[in-house]
Amino acid sequence: MSEFIAYLPEVFELFGAIQIRKMFGGYGVYHDGLMFALVADETLYLKADAENAKFFEEQGLAPFAYQREGKMAKMSYYQAPAEFMEDREQASVWARRSYDAARRAQRKKRKSKTDTAVIRHLD
The pLDDT tens digits for 47-81 are 999 999 999 999 999 999 888 888 887 889 999 99
Higher pLDDT, 23 or 122: 23
| Sign for the pseudo-dihedral over CA of 66, 3, 14, 29 | positive
pLDDT at 64: 93
- End-to-end C-alpha distance for the chain, whole angstroms: 50
- Looking at the structure of the chain, the number of domains it has is 1
Q: How far apart are CA 94 and CA 15, in angstroms?
A: 9
Q: What is the mean pLDDT of residues 4-8?
A: 96
Higher pLDDT, 110 or 78: 78
- Name the amino acid, one letter, at 101: A
Report whether pLDDT(25) > 60. yes
Q: What is the mean pLDDT of residues 3-16?
A: 96
Which of 46, 29, 27 minimizes the C-alpha distance to 90?
A: 46
Q: Which domain holds residue 48?
A: 3-122
pLDDT at 118: 45
pTM of the model: 0.84
pLDDT at 111: 64
Cβ(107)–Cβ(114) under 8 Å? Answer: no
Report whether pLDDT(31) > 50. yes
CATH number at residue 10: 3.30.1460.30
